[in-house]
Amino acid sequence: MSTKLMNFDNLISFSFYFLTLCCFVSVVESRKLGFNSSLFQEVNGDNDGDDSIVYIWPLPSKYTYGNNTISINHDLSLEISGNGGYSIIVSEGFQRYREIIFKHHSRKKSGVLYDVNKLKIIVNSDNETLNLNVDESYSLFITAENGSSIIQGASIEANTVFGALRGLETFGQLCSFDYGTKSVQVYKAPWYIQDEPKFVFRGLLLDTSRHFLPIDVIKQVIESMSYAKLNVLHWHIIDEQSFPLEVPSHPYLWKGSYTKFERYTVEDAYDIVDFAKMRGINVMAEIDVPGHAESWGRGYPELWPSETCREPLDVTKNFTFDVVSSILADMRKIFPFELFHLGGDEVNTDCWSSTPHVKQWLQEHNMTTKDAYQYFVLRAQEIAISKNWTPVNWEETYNSFKGNLNPRTVVHNWLGPGVCPKAAADGFRCIYSNQGVWYLDHLDVPWEDVYKSEPLEGISDGSHKKLVLGGEVCMWGETADSSDVQQTIWPRAAAAAERMWSSRDMTSARNMSSTVLPRLEYFRCLLNRRGVPAAPVNSYYARRPPVGPGSCYLQ
């Protein structure tokens, strides 16, 4: 992002003046990390560890810190200003983090003076539109209110409410409960952080067709996404196995749900979108056409080419496209995000050519089945664009007929590396989800491989880099349900989250076991403390429980 925070030049000048004057700052700014520390020593307060490790995940763009410890008042209050400071997104966000930070109850001590009694949040814009390019940058300053600094206390400044939310997350991670004093403290103060994401699209796919996930579970996933500063929930609602979503214009479609108890009403979908927005997370919905759509025909059998050819959908009938159009019209009322996923992957057209009426239609239109596949995808794209959506399609559409794709298409990579460089060279925007490293249902992929992956791999041209929107880790649901979905997502999704948020220069380290691993282990335990059942970092297979007793930080 090129947008700078208002008053940033003055703020950073004050900050560095004060920190330099006090002669105790350790500056860590836009450089490679080279730590050699023991996490177990760090969390136990052993000063023999390397103090240069910063336990913020994902790592901020720029930061400085000192060597003081300051206390935070249990009755921390909020002071707001700026055009957007009075937003309910800010006030409710502050309340959520206040409950996280002060989870431990302790008796109030009379006469105790705290270093920080209020958090100032300044939001410059009152625009609460959450879109792809929303400004998520923020600055955070934490020092004692009674110190000698020109800027005193704790403050977050952001251009938007969503930048303020990211600042609140960082503030929350810096606050630690001290069991000796039974108070919340911030170590290594004073802190100055200026932060913004590397990519505008930092996603997680959640599959609710292979296994139905209750609303509360989806919300738990969204909440945990905010802790890692992910900002797009790719909701893969429907697939060949089940159609759980209510579509008012075609009320029999959700006859394709597993049972009548495993469905999402229109109101449920609105609720999820609203819940996500309050956490700065967009919801990108998907209907996968023309393949992966067998469940559609349980309510409307005429969508099937025949009883023995249940997918792809029947390309010959206008009714098929009328249904697609109606679904998109109903969903457009619910999902305001400008991107909509139309799938288009794994389309096996063999049964088209063996179904008499489809075969005849192909002959009449002088089409092969490959031509018909293209025809279906392009017609679906036109429908989506007519409803003011930008279409996203899996990479098979690009691989098969890139010359005819709508130029607004966002190509979603998944089959392997090398697609985004080609798509960007052809002028398409791209999302990276290489299945070899970023498919979370591949349980044998270790966190290191997730972390080392790079959406910009193979791209050197600056203009092409700008076309890579970011990336997405995919939680396909064939072998995950409410009992284990969070353990499968975390902590490996966090490894990708830092890759998508933080500068490569900030996080490229020769020895990840002594630099990145302690931080990821700490973040996993932070998730556990916040109620997220993240699995041990070093499990040979993801989501497996610990092999024996021990500290969370050493699993």
Looking up residue 413, the CATH number of its domain turns out to be 3.20.20.80
CB atoms within 10 A of CB 62: 17
Alpha-carbon distance values, 458 to 417, 423, 500 (Å): 9, 12, 16
> For the residues 55-65, what does the mean pLDDT come to?
97
Residue 525 sits in the same domain as residue 391: yes
- Rounded to whole angstroms, how far apart are CA atoms 121 and 118? 10
d(CA 161, CA 121): 10
Give the domain-ending residue among 153, 176, 195.
195
Q: What pLDDT, in 10s, does the model give residues 285-311? A: 999 999 999 999 999 999 999 999 999
Residue 149 sits in the same domain as residue 116: yes
pLDDT of 32 higher than 90:
no
pLDDT in tens, 482-498: 999 999 999 999 999 99
Which pLDDT belongs to residue 532? 98
Do 404 and 357 lie in a common domain? yes
- Does 452 reside within a domain? yes
DSSP code at position 254:
G
Domain co-membership, 135 together with 261: no
Q: Is residue 320 in a domain?
A: yes
Structure tokens at 101: 């930070």
pLDDT at position 418: 95
Local confidence band at 148 (pLDDT 50, 70, 90 cut-offs): low
pLDDT at residue 189 tops 90: yes
Domain check: are 229 and 243 in the same one?
Answer: yes
Q: Is the pLDDT of residue 6 over 60?
A: no
What is the extent of the structural domain holding 89? Answer: 62-195
As for how many domains the chain has, the answer is 2
SS3 150: coil
Share above pLDDT 90 across residues of the chain, in percent, rounded to a whole number: 84
Tell me the per-residue pLDDT of 440-472, one tens digit each, with 9 for 90 and over. 999 999 999 999 999 999 999 999 999 999 999
Q: Does residue 346 carry a catalytic annotation?
A: yes
Q: Which of 195, 214, 233 represents a domain boundary (last residue)?
A: 195
Determine the average pLDDT of the residues in 132-141. Answer: 98
Q: How confident is the model at residue 509 (pLDDT cuts 50, 70, 90)?
A: low
Q: Which of 338, 346, 382, 478 is an active site residue?
A: 346
Residues 185 and 209 in one domain: no
pLDDT at 348 exceeding the cut of 60: yes
What CATH number did the domain enclosing 91 receive?
3.30.379.10
pLDDT tens for 386-397 read 999 999 999 999
Which residue's entry shows tokens 């972390």? Answer: 451
Tokens of 291: 């393949």
How many C-beta atoms lie closer than 10 Å to residue 552's C-beta?
A: 17
Q: What is the mean pLDDT of the chain?
A: 91
Token duo for residue 440? 């979370």
Q: What is the pLDDT at residue 52? A: 79
pLDDT at residue 83 in the model: 97
How large a percentage of the chain has pLDDT more than 70? Answer: 89
pLDDT of residue 142: 98
Residue 197 has pLDDT above 80, yes or no: yes
Task: Judge whether 303 lies within some domain.
Answer: yes
What is the pLDDT confidence band of residue 105, given thresholds at 50, 70 and 90? confident
Same domain, 228 and 288: yes
Q: Kindly tell me if the per-residue pLDDT of 523 is higher than 50.
A: yes
